[in-house]
Structure 1
Amino acid sequence: MDIVGPINPPSEAGHRFSLTIIDYATRYAEAVPLRKIDTKTVAEALVDIYSRLGVPEEGLYDQGTQLMSDCMKEVCRLLGIKQKATTPFHPMCNRLVERFNATLKTCLRRLCSEQPRQWHRYINPLLFAYREVPQESTHFAPFELLYRRTVHILRELWTKDIEEPEVKTSYEYVLNPRGRLEDTLKIARKELEKAQERQKHYYDRTAKCRKLSVGEKVLVLLPTDSKKYQLRV
């Protein structure tokens, strides 16, 4: 999870930030507009999400003070969440949510070009679109992996091109989707492994193996407060 912002201009309702979360297994994403990002506000937004989607076993948290505060650690302890922190100055560690943040900001910029202070009203429609599109890495839509069914999109509702569901008993309704979900998750897991192998292959083409000796001086890249970089020996 991560916090995007401050977003300029702020929404007409005073939102300046957005809390973003993405599930690594299903790629299901959430984004919550926030007026402020103190620990209490962020914790309340997280609890609201967990109350709808369920509490995760573990979470990868950005190194921001709001997400790594004592209050947030206590919330995770009470909910039974294993809290993990991202590696400082290493965006690749949180690449999924960083990639989603970039997609979200690009779409908001295009949709709100004429009414930029209305960006908070476009969050949910954008999330709907993102969740119902099959991901290249899993070959399934995030909505389908999470809820065990496909979502009815607007085109289907307008054209009435919707298949009538098969009538089943409650017992069949519970057990059959569970079996399909297990099969679906197995396929998605295999596709994720293939995608990771492809990414590793492309990365390794330009990677160079370097051997360092104890006591050897190296250059370290350190970000400054002005978001510029400086080199130190």
Structure 2
Amino acid sequence: MDLITDLPKTADYDLILVVVDHAATKGVIFIPCHKKIDATDTAELLFQHVYRHFGLPDKIISDRDPRFAAEVFKEMGKLLGIKQMLSTAYHPQTDGETERVNQEVEIFLRFFCAKEQTKWKELLHFAEFAHNTRTHSVTKNSPFYLTMGYHPRPLPTIFEKTMVPSVEKRMAELKKLREETSALLDIAARRMKERSGKELDKFEKGQKVWLEGKNLSLGYPSPKLSPKHEGPFEIMEVLGPVTYRLKLPFQWRIHPVFHASLLSPYKETDVHGPNFLEPPPDIVEGQEEYEVEAIIGHRPKKKNQPPKEYLVSWKGYDSSHNQWLKPAGLKHSMELYLDYKIAHNLR
């Protein structure tokens, strides 16, 4: 049992309680909640989301979060016959399985919610279903099958036409969302495997690379769900065996020299071709006009003060072209502008 914290607030939710059945099925339960919950609230969430499906657990493994280490939580476990095991800073492997699930979920959410970071709560059940219906490497079965004794029937790949367009549209959205969620969780699992024992890549001048987004303050509403990688960017100069100078957007105003551990190769595939087509601009009133794909951040972030600039991504262009615009620069993207202000409670 563990917590994924510091998520963008949506409908009073900004935290996920992750419960993993590490002993039997390897299944997961993702419970949206908020950072103000205490030990009593946490215990109540376990009753609501775990006990009603599976009964009482024999033991609970967790880190030393105050919610889990509180006396009321320990005493409740004692009365119910639940053994509590707290991992330590020196031996975090005690809860390593939950932590791996946490990291996979965070990678999935970064991919899926980078553009619209307030959607994580409504997408969470798709992530849970995708994880629980995937064959586990240890049990050789899916958690769902080990729990229910059968494989769930997925959404059909093809829908018949209907006289109700709204139903047809919703079915198509659900199908696409399920497929994307499952695919992104597979990618998250592969990323976890790639992190262990990997040698640093070597790059050449002119080569394009992805830059790890960690520690880059680029104005996203939540660093927790900002893109894992930015770019691709061109290598302008090889400064040493593991040091490179990148061609970064001038708006970033950060030192453009990075260690190789923060870089990964950018590759185009025969199947998908270039990731970004960089379409030519439209001509509006004699001026070049590019289409805003999404508003992904704002500044400043002071309370009771309207933002002076908004970070936008351009349709068909990678994140190296992201740009800060004043509200006047969004006059042709008013729907996106107003939706963003409403979603983030901005004046």
> Is the structural similarity TM-score above 0.5?
yes
Structure 1: distance between partners of 2:113 and 2:141: 29
CA distance in 1, matches of 2:37, 2:46: 12
8 Å contact from structure 1 (residues 61, 67) kept in 2: yes
Q: How many residues end up aligned between the 2 structures?
A: 159
- Normalised to the residue count of structure 2, the TM-score between the two structures is 0.43
SS at 1:154's partner residue? coil
The equivalences for 1:186-197 within 5 A come to none
Residue of structure 2 in register with 1:29 after alignment: 28
Separation of aligned partners in 2, 1:96 and 1:5 = 18
Q: Give yes or no for the alignment of 1:145 onto 2:143.
A: no
* Distance apart, 1:153 and its partner CA: 1.5
Give per-residue Cα distances to partners, 1:91-139, cap 9 Å, x unaligned. Answer: 3221110010011111111111221012111111110011000011211
**Unpaired segments of 5 or more residues in structure 2?**
161-195, 198-347
Match of 1:107 in 2: 108
SS of aligned partner of 1:87: coil
Residue 16 (structure 2) aligned to one of 15, 18, 36 = 18
1:17–1:37 contact (8 Å) kept in structure 2: no
Alignment of 1:8-87 (within 5 A): 9-10=8-9, 12-24=10-22, 25-35=24-34, 36-48=36-48, 49-87=50-88
Deviations 1:172-200 (A, max 9, x none): xxxxxxxxxxxxxxxxxxxxxxxxxxxxx
SS at the partner of 1:93?
A: helix
Query: Percentage identity across aligned positions?
Result: 28
**TM-score computed with the length of structure 1 as normaliser:** 0.63
Is 1:6 the counterpart of 2:9? The answer is no
- Cα offset for 1:67? 0.5
After superposition, what is the alpha-carbon deviation per residue over 1:44-94, rounded to whole angstroms, capped at 9, x for unaligned? Answer: 111112122221111112211100111111221232211111133433221
Instruction: Tell me the equivalent position of 1:98.
Output: 99
Distance in 2 between residues matched to 1:151 and 1:99, nearest whole Å: 25
Separation of aligned partners in 1, 2:156 and 2:63 = 37
Please, what is the CA RMSD of the aligned residues?
2.2
Provide the C-alpha distance between the structure 1 equivalents of 2:119 and 2:82, rounded to a whole number of angstroms.
34
User: Which one has a bigger Cα radius of gyration?
Assistant: 2
| Aligned twin of 1:196 | none
Moved more, 28-37 or 84-93: 84-93
Q: Match of 1:18, as an amino acid? A: I
The aligned counterpart of 1:185 is: none
Alpha-carbon deviations, 1:9-47, whole Å to 9, x = none? Answer: 22x212111111101121110111112231122111111
Instruction: Decide which structure has greater strand share.
Output: 2
Q: Contact 2:61–2:94 (CA<8 Å) still a contact in 1?
A: no
* Larger CA deviation: 150-159 vs 66-75: 150-159
Structure having the larger proportion of residues in helix = 1
Letter in 2 for 1:23: D
Gapped regions of structure 1 (runs ≥ 5):
160-201, 204-233
Q: Which structure's relative contact order is higher, taking Cα pairs within 8 Å and 6+ residues apart? A: 1
